[in-house]
Amino acid sequence: MPAATESPLATYIAHLERGELAYQFSPSANRAVFYPRLVCPETGATDLDWRVSKGLGTVHATTVVHPAQGAPFNVALIDMDEGFRLMSRVEDVDPTSVAIGQRVRFRVHPAEGEEPPYPVFTLAEGA
């Protein structure tokens, strides 16, 4: 395996810091790979290329978490148009109104303290 100059996680976070949702693509498997890793989980190949998502996806599954303290919030699985799925949340909307099949748009939740930035979503216009 070739020596990596930067970890896949560091590359992913650097993209988030620039406002981009990056993912990897495996030419050997001809599919998107997400969460960032060193080898393709399907083929074991190390030929992963970095790409940047256009930021549009569809809610695959959703639930509402009711913490003991604080307001309820949404947790959703989002199927990105590029062919990968990630767990995140849909913000700026009542968490109980998020529905399977809704179109969503990526944005970055900025870093806070020791916590790095991470992807969140809002309803896409016209959704």
61-117 tens-digit pLDDT: 999 999 999 999 999 999 999 999 999 999 999 999 999 999 999 999 988 888 999
In a domain, 3, yes or no: no
Burial pattern 69-104, b for ≥16 Cβ within 10 A else e, equals: eeeeebebbbebebebebebbbbeeebeebeeebeb
Asked if residue 85 and residue 73 are part of one domain, the reply reads: yes
Residue 1: its pLDDT value, please? 43
Asked if residue 65 and residue 32 are part of one domain, the reply reads: no
Asked if residue 114 and residue 89 are part of one domain, the reply reads: yes
Edge-to-edge strands, sheet with 22-26: 31-33, 22-26, 49-52
Residue 126: its pLDDT value, please? 62
Asked if residue 30 and residue 80 are part of one domain, the reply reads: no
Q: For the domain that residue 60 is a member of, what is the CATH number?
A: 2.40.50.840
In a domain, 73, yes or no: yes
Q: Which domain holds residue 31?
A: 8-52
pTM over 0.85: yes
